[in-house]
Amino acid sequence: MAVVLRSRHCPFADNGFPMHELGIAASILESVQAEALRHPAGRITKVGVKIGELSGVDRDALQFGFEVLVKDTEWEPVVLDLEYIPRVQRCSKCAHEFRMTEFDPQCPQCGEFLTDCIGGEELDIAYMEVDE
Amino acid sequence: MNRIEVEKKVLNENQVLAEQLRERYRQLGVLCINLISAPGSGKTALLERTLQRMDKGSRVAVLTGDLQTENDAKRLAKFGFPVKQITTGGTCHLDARMIGKHLADWKLEDLDLLIVENVGNLVCPSSYDLGEDAKIVLLSTSEGEDKPLKYPSIFFKAELMLLTKIDLLPYVPFNADVARENARRVHPQLEIIDVSSTTGEGLDRWMEWLRARQERAKAKLHTATAPH
């Protein structure tokens, strides 16, 4: 089941979605609709999405886009729960894991510069809540 | 109330299509690169110089994305290689479905290199995997040195940064060392090549990078098909 892209709420409807977050909101709604098909007697009330610091997605714009998409539709009661995932690095030398701030990759424990990103790239649907 | 753990990518549909493309490229030994930058950083100019330097028989093709017009395809078609324009209408990025659709009437087995020139935008294209082997980000000396810090996502995901319009350095208040340092703060392993499409500076290194990557794509093909 696809989201109706030509929503009357979208002023650019004829050309698809010019706004990045609105397209992502549409993908989230598609997943909700697909999951809903598996629970014909239930009703999806919430969808949880992880947004990594490096995902390039603005949470406010995504929240707004989602609300615009579901407004006046049967999906309006679905709450979008966004969880921000900070960038986490793991040291290649001492395996220490740390939250990276100010783009400083240096390991605070041993001083090593070569550290790998192990968190912060997420753009994942984590869970959904269904009232059955 | 029932909680269901889902754990899947939001852009799962795009991801599936991108992986299919990647697998096709891998099986045929085609190198696919995805060029991303702000509008006006010199993607098309770089491609003009790149195609100009290719041997006549090179098996290269270009897909170029813009919101409107066929202008870039016209500029690039002069060099005699297959070029196709993808006009997105209003959409700010290319996605894997658009790539698949525009590749449909090309024979991938006739290609060694597929260059995708994304829509000029430093934000959205970074979220959409096109099945490429490498994302390449361009930053020009007429922009700000802090762009990697302002738009970290794409600088993190790119394997190579091309610092373009390097010939303008004497005339612009741009500190190339600071720009490189900012890029490496976001992505310590990022490769950086300085280029000028006007003077040709750095283009040999860029062509060499492309050649090396093409050889790697071919080598993978041989190891994948060799009998064990």
pLDDT digits (tens, 9 = 90+) for B36-54: 999 999 999 999 999 999 9
Whole-number Å distance between alpha carbons of A72 and B113: 48
Chain mean pLDDT for chain A? 86
Whole-number Å distance between alpha carbons of B193 and B62: 21
Which ipTM score applies to this complex? 0.71
Instruction: State chain B's maximal CA–CA distance in angstroms.
Output: 66
The per-residue pLDDT for B224 is 61
| pLDDT tens-place string over residues B105-143 | 999 999 999 999 999 999 889 989 999 999 999 999 999
Closest C-alpha to B48, from B36, B34, B62: B62
**For A123, which of B7, B11, B152 is closest by C-beta distance?**
B11
Domain assignment present for B228: no
Q: Is B66 helix (H, G, I), strand (E, B) or coil?
A: strand
Number of structural domains in chain A? 1
| pLDDT tens-place string over residues A49-106 | 999 998 889 999 999 999 999 999 999 999 999 999 999 999 999 999 999 888 888 8
Report chain A residues touching chain B, CB-CB < 8 A: 12, 14-20, 23-24, 27-28, 30-31, 35, 42, 45, 49, 54-57, 103-105, 113-115, 117, 121, 123-132
Residue range(s) defining the domain that contains residue B204: 13-216
Q: CATH number for the domain including A72?
A: 3.30.2320.80
Pairing label, strands B2-9, A123-131: antiparallel
Closest C-alpha to B112, from B141, B87, B93, B133: B133
Whole-number Å distance between alpha carbons of B167 and B87: 31
**Chain centroid to CA B200:** 19
The per-residue pLDDT for A87 is 93
Q: Which residues of B touch A55 (CB under 8 A)?
A: 127, 153
The per-residue pLDDT for B227 is 52
Phi then psi dihedrals of residue A94, to 5 deg: -110, 0
Residue % of chain B over a pLDDT of 70 = 97
At A13, the pLDDT band (50, 70, 90 cuts) reads: very low
Strand partners for A125: A49, B8
Domain assignment present for B2: no
Chain mean pLDDT for chain B? 93
Residue range(s) defining the domain that contains residue A100: 13-131
At B5, the pLDDT band (50, 70, 90 cuts) reads: very high
- Interface probe for B, chosen from A49, A51, A54 (most Cβ of B below 10 Å), is A54
Residue % of chain A over a pLDDT of 70 = 86
Residue A115's closest chain B neighbor by CA?
A: B188
Please check whether residue B11 is in contact with residue B128, taking contact to mean a CB–CB distance below 8 angstroms. Answer: yes
Closest C-alpha to A27, from B117, B151, B123, B128: B128
**For B126, which of A14, A56, A125 is closest by C-beta distance?**
A56
* Residue contact A127–B156, C-beta within 8 A: no
Please check whether residue B124 is in contact with residue B92, taking contact to mean a CB–CB distance below 8 angstroms. Answer: yes
Number of structural domains in chain B? 1
Q: CATH number for the domain including B33?
A: 3.40.50.300
Domain assignment present for B221: no
Please check whether residue A53 is in contact with residue A86, taking contact to mean a CB–CB distance below 8 angstroms. Answer: yes
